[in-house]
């Protein structure tokens, strides 16, 4: 029997929720596994990353699975299809790691453990819980750490028709580089402003108040340092924030993707074009996508 793991993309921070907020995105990685395949071990890559990621046992998904399932990993046939651009701030690493964990448990035990077990394993590997939490549970999650324990709670229930507008530059930004550029300490004023913004953001989402959401999607801790990594990115984000038909905009994770809420009533047909123009003027190509929010999280489908 073949089984398919669906491991969603995610956007994190949402402006002020640095390493604390994660949101599931309706793109993902699909991993189809045939255990004890008659034709033996094989790896087929499709979609994003197929030209740069290893199509053998060095692939992160297989490496993580092997930590759990051992040699069973090398007796399976794998088909890995991804819609998540690599190193663009959409949780490709967390989705791959969660898919690998799920695959390992399926090969070893035939079923997944409770979701919190997968979340804790993924968070320990990632060393921050926001993307892992959104990937495993779906929806909007609030995360924290208590000693060695990683914690995740659901946040306001979001309209199932709510979408995201993504502006994805063609250039990658490695997470390690985007973390290394951050300061080691912050002023009290910057910290307080972020706490205030995050409170306004969550209040706005809970009440469907998009004016509050727009006011809350403001950050002082990471965006001012990361936006300059890509020419034109700061101006592009400003243009999204000036579009009153959008429900707030932010730098997705470590970037360079920019994200904004598309309220159910919809945004203008040209939303995002000014952001693309800002990037183009700086010599950076970019694409606009409208993507649903993922509310289901990590899941398994049985192939017939």
Q: What is the pLDDT at residue 51?
A: 86
Provide the 8-state DSSP code for 293: B
C-alpha to C-alpha distance for 260 and 251, rounded to whole angstroms: 9
Q: Is 189 exposed, middle or buried (0-12, 13-18, 19+ CB in 10 A)?
A: exposed
Residue 3, sorted as left (phi over 0), alpha (psi -120 to 50) or beta, turns out to be beta
Residue 276, sorted as left (phi over 0), alpha (psi -120 to 50) or beta, turns out to be alpha
Domains along the chain?
Answer: 2-156+294-302 (3.30.230.10), 163-292 (3.30.70.890)
Share of the chain above pLDDT 70, in %: 98
The tens digit of pLDDT for each residue in 142-170 reads: 999 888 788 999 888 887 778 999 999 99
Does the pLDDT of residue 69 top 90, yes or no? yes
C-alpha to C-alpha distance for 51 and 259, rounded to whole angstroms: 26
pTM of the model: 0.93
C-alpha to C-alpha distance for 89 and 77, rounded to whole angstroms: 29
Average pLDDT over residues 243-270: 89
Residue 272, sorted as left (phi over 0), alpha (psi -120 to 50) or beta, turns out to be left
Report the SS3 class of residue 72. Answer: helix
Does the pLDDT of residue 304 top 70, yes or no? no
| Residue with tokens 């020419």, as numbered in its chain | 231
Dig out the tokens for 47 from the structure.
């979609």
Q: Produce one character per residue of 31-66: b if its CB has 16 or more CB atoms within 10 Å, e if not.
A: bbbbbeeeeeeebebeebbeeebeeeeebbbbbbbb
Confidence of residue 200 (pLDDT cuts 50, 70, 90): very high
């Amino acid at each position: 029997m073949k089984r398919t793991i669906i491991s969603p993309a995610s956007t994190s921070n949402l402006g002020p929720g640095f390493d604390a907020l994660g949101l599931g995105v309706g793109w993902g990685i699909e991993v189809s596994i045939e255990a004890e395949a008659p034709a033996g071990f094989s790896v087929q890559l499709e979609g994003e990353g197929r030209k740069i990621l290893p199509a053998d046992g060095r692939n992160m998904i297989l490496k993580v699975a092997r930590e759990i399932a051992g040699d069973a990993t090398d007796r399976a046939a794998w088909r890995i299809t991804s819609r998540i651009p690599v190193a663009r701030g959409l949780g490709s690493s967390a989705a791959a790691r969660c898919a690998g964990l799920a695959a390992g448990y399926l090969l070893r035990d035939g079923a997944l453990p409770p979701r919190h077990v997968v979340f804790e394993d993924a968070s320990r590997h990632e060393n921050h819980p926001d993307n892992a939490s959104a990937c495993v549970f779906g929806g909007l999650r609030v995360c924290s750490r208590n000693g060695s324990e990683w914690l995740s709670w659901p946040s306001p229930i979001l309209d199932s028709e709510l979408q995201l507008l993504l502006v994805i530059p063609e250039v990658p930004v490695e997470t390690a580089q985007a973390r290394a550029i951050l300061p080691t300490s912050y002023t009290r004023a910057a910290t307080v402003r972020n706490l205030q913004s995050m409170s306004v953001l969550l209040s706005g989402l809970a009440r469907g108040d998009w004016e509050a959401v727009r006011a809350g999607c403001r950050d002082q801790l990471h965006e001012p340092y990361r936006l300059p990594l890509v020419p034109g990115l700061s101006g592009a984000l400003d243009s999204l924030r000036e579009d009153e038909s959008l429900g707030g905009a932010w730098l997705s994770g470590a970037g360079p993707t920019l994200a904004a809420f598309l309220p159910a009533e919809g945004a203008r047909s040209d939303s995002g074009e000014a952001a693309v123009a800002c990037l183009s003027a700086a010599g950076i190509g970019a694409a606009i996508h409208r993507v649903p929010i993922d509310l289901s999280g990590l899941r398994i489908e049985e192939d017939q």
